[in-house]
Amino acid sequence: MSHQRPFPQSLSLGPHHPVNLPRPTSKPVARQRYSNHLPEFPRGLPPGGPPTPTLVKAAPTADATNAPGSPTPPPGTAGIIEAVTPTAIPAPPLAPPPAPAPSLSPSPEPPCRRCAKRCVLFDVDGTLIDALDNQRRVWADWAVRYGVDPGEVYRVALRTRPLETFAIVAPAEDPQQCLAALHALEDEDVRSGEYTAFDGAAELLRGLPAGAWALVTSNYEHRVRGRFARTGLPVPDVVVDAAGVAEGKPSPVPYLLAAARLGARPENCLVIEDAPSGVQAGLRAGMTVWGVNTAAVDGVHRHFSSLREAAPAITAFLAGAPQSGPCRCASLVCSDA
């Protein structure tokens, strides 16, 4: 026997306020259910790290699937949580490897323009200009004026500067008056004397790049320019003469000054000479020295019987690799500065 109480048809709040209650339908309202049966992972991490997380969404309920146009879920899947695997996210790029530790010993700096430049330094008289007869004639005239042996004066003059020559051959004379007389004779010779350039000199000098060669002479620049004008030789930008230095050949000062004005290191300079004093000056400056036009002079690194014979080697020297080690501009005035 059922003890279920019948559902009241109405509810009275009093004799004058009856309330009609709706009868329950035969079909209960569907309630959305969620499954709490989530996938379980074994204890510990699987090989390769933790599994890729998944996003979950609830499958449509029975009522939702009954809506017009809704897809019909497979039987038995209503209310079951559906696992959705997200799109794979690319792993971030690996961090770059750490920079190597700096070396304790500093590496040599690359050579600058000064350390990589090659230059040629030419003597003038006897090397580019055939002036031996002119020099002999000028010194002979001077010796006659002062009453000394011309031959002896010329032999001394070939290896010393004029003031030193005067002190040796005419010690009793005033050196400044002796020098003034010599200058007057030389200036007259430049105007009226005959000069000849050595074979191949004009062709060689015109083919050299500007700023890569200089003249280093024991004479004076105005005389050099006068002789070059008469023989058709070009004059470079750098001319080191007797007035530009306190010490002449065989001191290395003239050649070192020429290298500095060209912006080159001494070991990258080539000296072309014909006289022993000039050869010694170049060697003492730490330069390569080649002899030309005369018998081989002691100490030269290479000897050529003529300037034309030496011309191809001189050009090749300028085109060759400089003898430069680590850049030394930290202690020297560099042409790059």
Contacts of 227 (CB under 8 A, 6+ apart): 124, 129, 131, 190, 195
Q: Which amino acid is at 77?
A: T
Contacts of 233 (CB under 8 A, 6+ apart): 128, 129, 197, 201, 202, 205
The two structure tokens encoding residue 14: 């009093």
Cβ pair 254, 240 in contact under 8 A: yes
Q: In angstroms, rounded to a whole number, what is the distance separating the alpha carbons of residues 17 and 316? A: 129
Q: Which amino acid is at 81?
A: I
**Residues designated as active site:** 123, 125
Q: In angstroms, rounded to a whole number, what is the distance separating the alpha carbons of residues 335 and 116? A: 11
CA distances (Å), 48 to each of 40, 45, 91, in order?
Answer: 18, 8, 14
Q: In angstroms, rounded to a whole number, what is the distance separating the alpha carbons of residues 203 and 311? A: 9
